[in-house]
Amino acid sequence: MIEINNLNKSFGNKLVLNSINIQFEHGKVYGIVGENGAGKTTLFRCIAGLEDFEGEIQSTKSPLKNHLGLLFTDPFFFPKLTGKEYIQLLCNAREIELGDIESRNVFDLPLNQYASTYSTGMKKKLAITAILLQENNYFILDEPFNGVDIQSNIIITEIIHKLKELEKIVLISSHIFSTLSATCDEIHLLKDGQIIRSVEKPEFEILENEMKEIVLENRIDRLGLK
Amino acid sequence: MLNNLIINPNTGIFSNQTNNLKSYFSIQIKIAARKFLDFGVHPILGVLLILVGFIAFSEYLFHQISFAANLIAFVSLTFTSALSAQKRNDFLQLCFPEKRYKSVRTIENTLAALPFVIFLVYKQNLLVAVVLLFISFTFAWSNFRTNFNFTLPTPFYKKPFEFIVGFRKTILLLIGACFIEFIALSVNNFNLGIFALAIVFLIVLTFYTQPENEIFVWNFIVSPAKFLITKIKIALIFSSLLSLPFVATLVAFYPEKYGIILAAWLIGFMLIITVILAKYAAYPSEMNLPEGIVIALGLSFPPLLLIFAPYFYFKAIQKLKLYLP
């Protein structure tokens, strides 16, 4: 379990996360949604321990960061480092002995090529492969479906289902609601640094419609399309 | 219309100014000035320091090596070829109409080659200077676009990333150091051999000058002390691997000077340790002036490294605690 109590985070005078209280349980997939700048990435960085914060974050496996696979929206790759070496680097960091990487290359990536030359989607798939091979218990996937082809989307969705089956905790952020509906058990709506709504699977459609109403208002009419 | 687009230096967005060469180069000067300021040096002082360093280094080469002029031309071409990189040229071609793009590239390459050409003329190597200028012009009209997909194998594959990345980036320089060592032995110049060994260590130091993305520190599950020790251990093993052929051949050719050779080797290792510790003492920022001064002092009087290394070690531990609690 990951338990967040009274989490506050400010950058200067700007309060980015405001009194976040939330629990994540094993064997469940959680979606975090919100506009750009709502605080999703900051929340993920706090959970990962990459930011100082006020409040408390506790986990059954401690320290949390040592059991966490973190996928950023735009993962960083060194120039002149191959896909295989990237995976080796991340697994060495976690002291995981890697066997045959090729047989676990589920996205059929060209692992002997420099990762920096990969396309956006391939980079994301490589980063996902690396954190999966790290044998983590917790996963934070920030926009895992962005830039990824349809076949890989299906594979990633199945991987998330498998992680749930294996009793892992998975947090996903995505701007594509359908991907969250297909994978999540709960969705939390973050606005201005606060969780303003939390819904379970049966209510996803209601949340999606509410969000549509909030987001759209009369914007399309204002375009005056003829 | 699109061909007339150029980045406005004040707003950073595209506008269709026609007098855009001046804007482009003023942006380049601003970027260079910011880099100096980020390093903690006033831009004018920075330029002066580079100039003094360039002259001193070139003079040293001319004193030590008979083919120094060729070596200087090679170094110059390394800089100008970097300006022909595909991505930046694609960007420049988007920004400028064809003719203006060619002008920008010609001016850039001339400016990059100019200090080297002037020095070669001063040293009365007119032919090399003219050839260098000609090749620099040629580079200005070429765009290094390649579909060549070759991954250079390294002996460091089990322990990414510094030596793998560094080795691949600096392979030509390492080959150059081997060549200098070969010349040193063939002309029986011991100092030049030590210089080649020093080049290897200087190349290794560059592997550790840039801070890596925080995720590559955060991922480790060890304490800051263990993290630093592991980094140092890998650096020492792999730098031994790179420098051993140099040391072995020097000892074989100059057995009576083994003391000096081993001292140079030891100083090289001490420098690597100090730079690794200095890197993480400044982490996640880049090393800047204070670290640079301390390392330069250590270079000029190596026993000082024994004091600086522990200082950086304790500072690095504090910095790494955020990522490795």
* Element containing residue A171 per DSSP (H, E): strand A169-173
Which class for B286: exposed (0-12), middle (13-18), buried (19 or more C-beta within 10 A)?
middle
**Interchain contact, A79 vs B220, CB within 8 Å:** no
**Confidence (pLDDT) at B4:** 43
Is residue B219 a contact partner of residue B287, using CB atoms and an 8 Å limit? no
Give the residue on A whose Cα is nearest the Cα of B168.
A80
**Confidence (pLDDT) at B289:** 78
**What would you measure as the largest C-alpha separation in chain B, in angstroms?**
72
> Nearest to residue A177, comparing CAs of A140, A151, A215?
A215
Compute the distance between CA of residue A222 and CA of residue B128 in angstroms, rounded to an integer. Answer: 68
Per the prediction, chain B carries an average pLDDT of 86
Residue whose entry in the numeric block shows the structure tokens 């640094």: A193
What distances in angstroms separate CA B40 from CA B21, B90, B247, B288, B297, one per listed residue? 29, 32, 36, 6, 17
Residue whose entry in the numeric block shows the structure tokens 């109409």: B97
**Confidence (pLDDT) at B148:** 58
**Interchain contact, B165 vs A79, CB within 8 Å:** yes
How many CB atoms neighbour CB B290 within 10 A? Answer: 12
> Nearest to residue A138, comparing CAs of A170, A167, A113, A98?
A170
Q: How confident is the model at residue B287 (pLDDT cuts 50, 70, 90)?
A: confident
**Interchain contact, B149 vs A80, CB within 8 Å:** no
Report the residue from A50, A52, A85 with minimal CB separation from B164: A85
**Which bin fits B280, alpha (ψ -120 to 50), beta or left (φ > 0)?**
alpha
Residue B146 pLDDT more than 70? no
Compute the distance between CA of residue B311 and CA of residue B298 in angstroms, rounded to an integer. Answer: 13
Nearest-CA distance A143 → chain B (Å) = 17
| Dihedral angle of Cα B88, B93, B99, B101, to the nearest 10 degrees | -20
Q: How confident is the model at residue B85 (pLDDT cuts 50, 70, 90)?
A: confident
Residues of chain B contacting residue A117, judged by C-beta atoms under 8 Å apart: 149
Residue B309 pLDDT more than 60? yes
Q: Is the peptide bond between A144 and the residue preceding it cis, with omega within 30 degrees of 0? A: no
Residue B314 pLDDT more than 90? yes
**What is the average per-residue pLDDT within B153-177?**
88
**Confidence (pLDDT) at A2:** 94
**What is the average per-residue pLDDT within B78-88?**
80
Report the residue from B157, B218, B323 with minimal CB separation from A85: B157
**Interchain contact, A86 vs B160, CB within 8 Å:** yes
**Interchain contact, B149 vs A65, CB within 8 Å:** no
In this predicted model, which residue has the larger pLDDT, B171 or B141? B171
**Which tens digit of pLDDT belongs to each residue from B45-70?**
989 998 998 899 888 888 877 778 88
**Which bin fits A51, alpha (ψ -120 to 50), beta or left (φ > 0)?**
beta
Residue whose entry in the numeric block shows the structure tokens 């002149």: A80
**Which tens digit of pLDDT belongs to each residue from B216-231?**
999 999 999 999 999 9
Compute the distance between CA of residue B203 and CA of residue B197 in angstroms, rounded to an integer. Answer: 10
Q: Which SS3 state, helix, strand or coil, does residue A197 take?
A: strand
**Confidence (pLDDT) at B5:** 45
Residues of chain B contacting residue A65, judged by C-beta atoms under 8 Å apart: 218, 325
Is residue B292 a contact partner of residue B278, using CB atoms and an 8 Å limit? no
Q: Which residues, in sequence order, are CB contacts of A224 under 8 Å at separation 6+?
A: none
Kindly state the tokens that stand for B148: 């060549």
Q: How confident is the model at residue B143 (pLDDT cuts 50, 70, 90)?
A: low
Report the residue from B161, B215, B218 with minimal CB separation from A85: B161
Using a cut of 0.90, tell me whether the model's pTM lies above it: no
Chains A and B: how many Cβ contacts under 8 Å? 64
**Confidence (pLDDT) at B6:** 47
Is residue B96 a contact partner of residue B6, using CB atoms and an 8 Å limit? yes
Residues of chain B contacting residue A48, judged by C-beta atoms under 8 Å apart: 218
Q: Which SS3 state, helix, strand or coil, does residue B214 take?
A: coil
Q: How confident is the model at residue B76 (pLDDT cuts 50, 70, 90)?
A: confident
- The rounded percent of chain B whose pLDDT value lies above 70 is 92
**Interchain contact, A70 vs B220, CB within 8 Å:** no
Give the residue on A whose Cα is nearest the Cα of B226.
A93
Is residue B17 a contact partner of residue B23, using CB atoms and an 8 Å limit? yes
> Nearest to residue A123, comparing CAs of A78, A68, A177, A183?
A78
Q: Is the peptide bond between B163 and the residue preceding it cis, with omega within 30 degrees of 0? A: no
Divide the 226 residues of chain A into consecutive groups of 10 and give the mean pLDDT of each group: 94 91 95 90 94 93 92 90 93 89 91 91 94 95 91 93 96 89 93 90 87 78 84
In this predicted model, which residue has the larger pLDDT, B1 or A182? A182
Compute the distance between CA of residue B101 and CA of residue B14 in angstroms, rounded to an integer. Answer: 16
**Which tens digit of pLDDT belongs to each residue from B8-22?**
444 444 445 456 778
**Interchain contact, A93 vs B221, CB within 8 Å:** yes
**Confidence (pLDDT) at B144:** 58
Compute the distance between CA of residue A187 and CA of residue B308 in angstroms, rounded to an integer. Answer: 52
Residues of chain A contacting residue B161, judged by C-beta atoms under 8 Å apart: 78, 81, 85, 89
> Nearest to residue B213, comparing CAs of A39, A86, A40?
A86
**Interchain contact, B218 vs A88, CB within 8 Å:** no
Q: How confident is the model at residue B267 (pLDDT cuts 50, 70, 90)?
A: very high
**Confidence (pLDDT) at B291:** 82
What distances in angstroms separate CA B163 from CA B78, B207, B208, B226, one per listed residue? 21, 7, 9, 19
Residue whose entry in the numeric block shows the structure tokens 């049966």: A202
**What is the average per-residue pLDDT within B124-149?**
78
